[in-house]
């Protein structure tokens, strides 16, 4: 009598058996895949684990198994932020007590996005101020100084962004003692409030910002005499009457 029996050891199987996601360059999108791990052999799945071996790049993929011995779900998560366009490969090696390891190949394709330029120009006004756009690390990608209707050649008034990025521009006083008044945004931004302007980069964009110079007048009272100077003012006062030169 010949008896035929199946394997007494567990045999790992995965569905799907591989994964090939495609993502746009440096765009924050949630990219995950659930893979069902089953046992096509004998026994039960115990001590299931998963390790990632990177063939190109590093750190862009994680693998987390969960569930009971008869129902294991392997969750794959992609973190592609900072990866340049191209293909990246990794192997997810699944292991279980008494079973031969199972390899799940993963191929990530990072597609290129268009680059667009944002330019800050001076609006109509005789005042001065700054326009700032900060990167995620806190360093300014745009720090544009505007004075009397002109941008300063020593400041940074252009920056490059990827298609679909959102640039947030903020007005700022020229220095802590400045009292010039912000007038208006223009171009790809609009509005007259001293607030953040958001620009979605779907092409090359231009934004203008304008300030008006503060106006200060000096008057006098009393029967004495004196002089007020500073901030472009040189005003003599005698017997309550203010006179020049400015």
Contact, 99 vs 37, CB < 8 A? no
CA dist., res. 206 & res. 211, Å (int): 17
Which of 39, 48, 42 has the alpha carbon at shortest distance from 13? 39
- Name beta bridge partners: 140: 134
- Name beta bridge partners: 210: 184
- What are the phi and psi torsion angles at 13 (to 5°)? -140, 150
pTM (2 decimals)? 0.62
CA dist., res. 173 & res. 162, Å (int): 29
CA dist., res. 197 & res. 172, Å (int): 12
Please report, in tens digits, the pLDDT of each residue of the chain (246 residues total): 544 455 589 999 999 999 999 998 877 778 999 999 999 998 889 999 999 999 999 999 999 999 887 789 999 999 998 899 999 999 999 999 999 999 999 999 999 989 999 999 999 888 888 898 866 555 568 999 998 889 998 899 999 988 888 888 988 876 655 667 888 899 998 876 777 888 999 999 999 999 888 666 666 666 667 777 765 577 777 665 666 555
């Amino acid at each position: 009598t010949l008896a035929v029996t199946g394997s007494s050891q567990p045999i790992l199987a995965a569905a799907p058996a591989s994964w090939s996601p495609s993502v746009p360059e440096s765009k924050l999108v949630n990219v995950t895949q659930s893979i069902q791990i089953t046992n096509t052999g004998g026994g039960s799945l115990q001590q299931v684990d998963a390790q990632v071996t990177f063939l190109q790049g590093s750190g862009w993929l994680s693998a987390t198994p969960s569930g009971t011995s008869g129902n294991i779900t392997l969750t794959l998560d992609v973190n592609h932020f900072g990866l340049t366009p191209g293909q990246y490969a990794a192997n997810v090696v699944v292991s279980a007590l008494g079973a031969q390891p199972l390899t799940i190949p993963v191929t990530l394709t990072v597609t290129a996005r268009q680059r667009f330029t944002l330019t800050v120009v001076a609006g109509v006004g005789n005042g001065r101020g700054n326009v700032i756009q900060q990167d995620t690390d806190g360093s300014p990608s745009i720090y544009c100084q505007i004075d009397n209707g002109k941008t300063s050649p020593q400041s940074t008034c252009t920056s490059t962004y990827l298609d679909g990025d959102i640039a947030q521009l903020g007005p700022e006083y020229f220095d802590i003692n400045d009292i010039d008044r912000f007038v208006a945004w223009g171009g790809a931004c609009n509005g007259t409030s001293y607030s953040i302007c958001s620009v979605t980069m779907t092409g090359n964009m231009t934004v203008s910002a304008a300030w008006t110079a503060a106006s200060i007048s000096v008057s006098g009272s009393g029967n004495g005499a004196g002089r007020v100077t500073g901030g472009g003012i040189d005003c003599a006062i005698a017997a309550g009457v203010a006179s020049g030169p400015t």
